[in-house]
Structure 1
Amino acid sequence: MPLIGITSCRKLEDYKQSILHVGGEVRIVDASMTVDDALAGIDGLMLTGGDDVAPERYGEPAHAAVVEAEPGRDEFEFGLVKAARDRHLPLFAICRGIQVLNVACGGTLVQDIPSQVPGAVPHALKIPPNEPYTLAHEVWLEKGSLLSNLMGERLAGGDSCEVNSRHHQAVKDVARGFTVSATAPDGIIEAIEDAAAEFCLGVQWHPENFWRTGEFRPLFEGFLLAAKASST
């Protein structure tokens, strides 16, 4: 079975279950490890959610709403991204993960959607009163993208789907080599991917929260297939 490295965060269980339920094995990796030790023997890397990437990493002063991640996490995960891409490992980045991926590869972020994007739809649903899987808004998928191809049957011939949402930041300037594969109705970037890679996809919502009901299972199945191929 493919072994997937999952970056440690406060709410790990749904990430783990999303991999286990499509036939993968899991290793949790964190900043107490070296990058080489974290990646040793794994077949794919998943970047998880959490607090904000330090704005200094993309050359901006911090907005008042920024809550930086725990010490050492940015440095560790930026190192993971570089090493994983150098090794051509499949990479699936979720919520904070898409932001880490974009900044590590040279992009920037919207630091606070509510104050910096007039007319934005709600992107930061609170739990409670909402559930982790509460749907927040629609996203439009770019036809022909990896994301759209993976979700094809679930889209029933359309080009959009409903997603949950718990973030106040988003991709702003897309890193070189990446393309946008989904946007929200307000124009906020909801997914990016590197078409030149075997599997390098970042999404801003939380597909892992749906492991029981399977709405986004094809994303994890596609990730595992790529990881299995990389292990041979």
Structure 2
Amino acid sequence: MSTPPPLIGVTTYVADDARWGVWALPAAVLPAGYHRLVQRCGGLAALLPPGDPGTAAAAVTRLDGLVIAGGPDVEPVRYGADADPRTGPPARDRDAWELALIDAALEAHVPLLGICRGLQLLNVALGGTLVQHIDGHAGPAGVFGRHEVKPEPGTLLGGILPEAVSVPTYHHQAVDRLGSGLLPSAHAADGTVEALELPGAGHFVLSVQWHPEAGDDTRVMDALVRAAKGS
């Protein structure tokens, strides 16, 4: 009997006015690149819209792996800062839900991958702070930019991506003070932290500042799915 594909949970937005066909309703939404990348790498994708943070641990116990997806800025109060005028409006329900999911995944040793906002939220979850605005890491509104990132040799990411790579990117915030135990494992040419991992976690914990779901390189998601399979 074959082993079933691992179940990978992926967090989502909630849109107040999503439109499809004749409908205009609130909806849980996520760019299709996320679930397609999970599927391409051999996983089953399960969408995790914001819910009661008290149920996060129960949700995580049903998963083989977890992706904290990209999205809005983390509310600065979460890391003890006042909001910069360029920081976007808060998504408080999503912040609370995803922080609870991260805590639960770390506690339960469920493989975890953060993407863009997911990297920033992992840093905040472990006591770190963020720079609220940087230039040069996004294209025009709604368009991914591209730049090179250089993985650090000897890290988890360095084993997945042993060479510098050009990546799709869309963010205007970045890591400032590192969260407890986190190790930067890739940088952009301007010194921006482009990946974080948690070497002492005892399981797969990796986050990247770029958007692998918007490109053709499957290696980061492949690594999460392999970890979710226990291989």
TM over 0.5: yes
2:206 counterpart (201, 206, 214): 201
Aligned residues of 1:35 and 1:80 also touching (Cα < 8 A): yes
Q: In structure 2, list runs of 5 or more residues that go unmatched.
A: 14-28
Aligned twin of 1:13: 32
C-alpha distance in structure 2 between counterparts of 1:139 and 1:31, whole Å: 31
C-alpha distance in structure 2 between counterparts of 1:58 and 1:35, whole Å: 21
Aligned twin of 1:139: 149
Runs of 4+ off more than 2 Å = 9-12, 68-71
The aligned length equals 209
1:151 counterpart (140, 155, 161): 161
Shift of residue 127, structure 1, vs aligned partner:
5.0
1:110 counterpart (131, 134, 137): 131
Aligned residues of 1:124 and 1:167 also touching (Cα < 8 A): yes
Shift of residue 36, structure 1, vs aligned partner:
3.2
Q: Deviations over 1:134-162 (max 9, x none)?
A: 5x21111100111110123xx3xxxx111
Higher relative contact order (CA 8 A, sep 6+): 1
Q: Percent identity?
A: 40
C-alpha distance in structure 1 between counterparts of 2:59 and 2:179, whole Å: 24
Aligned residues of 2:8 and 2:64 also touching (Cα < 8 A): yes
Q: In structure 1, list runs of 5 or more residues that go unmatched.
A: 115-121
TM-score, reference length from structure 1: 0.85
Aligned twin of 1:61: 82
1:51 counterpart (42, 55, 72): 72
Shift of residue 37, structure 1, vs aligned partner:
4.0
Shift of residue 12, structure 1, vs aligned partner:
2.9
1:92 counterpart (113, 131, 153): 113
Shift of residue 85, structure 1, vs aligned partner:
0.3
Q: Which has the higher strand share?
A: 2
Aligned twin of 2:19: none
AA partner of residue 208 (structure 1)? E
Aligned residues of 1:50 and 1:69 also touching (Cα < 8 A): no
Aligned twin of 2:47: 28
